[in-house]
């Protein structure tokens, strides 16, 4: 049986060159980058070289890049750190949207419940987009932090972060952007964007799991939430994961060099997948999300009348990996909070499946996979 991995939005396979770069570090003599001896200095050199490389690719200063364990920690560090810093200035109001990743939503809920912040969760439209006008209307003199993701991990919809950033800048609020899903596809020039904080994760761009970064624009007030050492300019205590960070840098470098060809190819895969499914699937299909502003590797499709969980189980048995939404929640039977936030009809929510493409996927394999999906849908419908 031929297997098809269509769940790159959850995690991506590691690029061979990334593994090679990491292996060179792991097979080396070792060394703590905080140590003063030659081994420590060698580790520090690798750390600095990786930081320089990633910051150059992102268009920011090396000192503005903070390494973390991944996207969730980056989101937590940004939100909790910025909220606490802004509270000292009398600003205790946070704005976010109902379509955010749970790493943002749950952190905002915690800040409201445990630390007394006021949180406004704005609605999204039927495509999953947040209107800047709603953010402008929600602003108060106490608004200190706005958090809006760039590319949605479930439906792929892109947000107008430049316009939102200008609103934040005009009011003196800190603007955080979760760019975990969009890094592979966007040419970020952070020094030109009205963004104060931006979260990244290596395993979404064919890098290692357990490594991420947080961009902190110079002058942005952010309190450290992890203590114990002076690493990362005293903003994130703990010995740095040198091998992982080196792998992250290699993945970013590949990302930059291949983006020009990779992006249109992923969009071609996405469009061809939709065409083939329309040929082979005998139930109504609805594409969820924006048809104009979207990430090229994600497509969320409702197979009307076919239960999501039943569909996913059958896809898995046929060797096709897909998802019902965020990998952080798809192990549970709860329906997508993003689709609910988009106020879609219940039958659309109950039948939605996310397919996401990346390294290793080909146009040729789509034909085989689409035929399998068609067979699965017929089998499920006939058993009802």
Measured between alpha carbons, how far is 75 from 200 in angstroms, rounded to an integer? 9
Q: Is 328 a catalytic residue?
A: yes
Measured between alpha carbons, how far is 204 from 201 in angstroms, rounded to an integer? 6
Query: Cβ(281)–Cβ(377) under 8 Å?
Result: yes
Q: Which residues pair with 302 in a beta bridge?
A: 286, 352
- Residue 56 to residues 187, 213, 220, 244, 252, Cα–Cα distance (Å): 11, 14, 20, 18, 10
- Residue 313 to residues 107, 258, 283, Cα–Cα distance (Å): 31, 34, 18
Measured between alpha carbons, how far is 54 from 74 in angstroms, rounded to an integer? 16
Q: How far is CA 119 from the centre of its chain?
A: 22
Fill in the DSSP letter of residue 237. -
Query: Which of 168, 199, 158, 171 has its CA nearest to residue 74?
Result: 199
Q: Within 13 Å of residue 316, how many CA atoms lie on the same side as its CB?
A: 9
DSSP state string for 44-64: HHHHHHHHHHHHHHHTS-GGG
Beta carbons within 10 angstroms of residue 189's beta carbon: 10
Query: Which of 53, 78, 63 has its CA nearest to residue 218?
Result: 63
Beta carbons within 10 angstroms of residue 263's beta carbon: 17
Residue linked to tokens 């994130």: 236
CA pseudo-torsion sign 281, 2, 152, 105: positive
Query: Cβ(352)–Cβ(308) under 8 Å?
Result: yes
Region for residue 38 given its phi and psi (left: phi exceeds 0; alpha: psi -120 to 50; beta: otherwise): alpha
Instruction: Tell me which of 60, 108, 255, 328 is the catalytic residue.
Output: 328
DSSP state string for 4-39: EE-BTTT--PPPHHHHHHHHHHHTS----TT--SHH
Q: Which residues are catalytic?
A: 328
């Amino acid at each position: 049986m031929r297997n098809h991995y269509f769940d790159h939005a959850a995690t991506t396979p590691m690029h061979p060159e990334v593994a090679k770069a990491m292996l060179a570090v792991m097979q080396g003599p070792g060394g703590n980058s905080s140590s003063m001896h030659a081994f420590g200095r060698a580790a520090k050199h690798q750390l600095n070289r990786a930081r320089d490389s990633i910051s150059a690719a992102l268009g920011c200063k090396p000192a503005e890049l903070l390494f973390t364990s991944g996207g969730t920690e980056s989101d937590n560090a940004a939100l909790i750190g910025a909220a606490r810093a802004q509270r000292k200035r009398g600003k205790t109001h946070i704005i976010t949207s109902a379509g955010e990743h749970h790493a943002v939503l749950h952190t905002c809920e915690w800040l409201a419940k445990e630390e007394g912040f006021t949180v406004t969760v704005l609605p999204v439209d039927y495509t999953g987009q947040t209107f800047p006008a709603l953010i402008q209307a929600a602003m108060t003199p106490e608004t200190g932090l706005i958090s809006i993701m760039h590319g949605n991990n479930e439906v792929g919809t892109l947000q107008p972060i430049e316009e939102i950033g200008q609103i934040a800048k005009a009011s003196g609020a800190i603007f955080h952007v979760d760019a975990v899903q969009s890094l592979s596809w966007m040419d970020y020039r952070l020094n030109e964007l009205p963004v104060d904080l931006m979260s990244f994760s290596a395993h979404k761009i064919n890098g290692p799991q357990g490594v991420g970064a947080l961009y902190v624009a110079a002058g942005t007030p952010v309190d450290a939430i992890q203590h114990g050492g002076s690493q990362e300019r005293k903003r994130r205590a703990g010995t740095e994961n040198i091998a992982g960070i080196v792998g992250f840098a290699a993945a970013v470098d590949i990302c930059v060099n291949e983006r020009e060809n990779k992006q249109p190819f992923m969009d071609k895969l996405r469009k061809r997948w939709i065409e083939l499914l329309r040929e082979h699937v005998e139930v109504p299909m609805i594409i969820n999300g924006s048809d104009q502003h979207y990430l090229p590797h994600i497509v969320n499709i409702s197979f009307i009348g076919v239960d999501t969980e039943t569909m996913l189980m059958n896809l898995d048995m046929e060797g096709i990996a897909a998802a019902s939404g965020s990998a952080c929640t798809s192990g549970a039977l709860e329906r997508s909070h993003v689709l609910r936030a988009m106020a879609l009809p219940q039958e659309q929510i109950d039948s939605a499946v996310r397919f996401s493409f990346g390294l290793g996927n080909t146009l040729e394999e789509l034909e085989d996979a689409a035929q399998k999906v068609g067979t699965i849908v017929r089998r499920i419908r006939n058993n009802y």
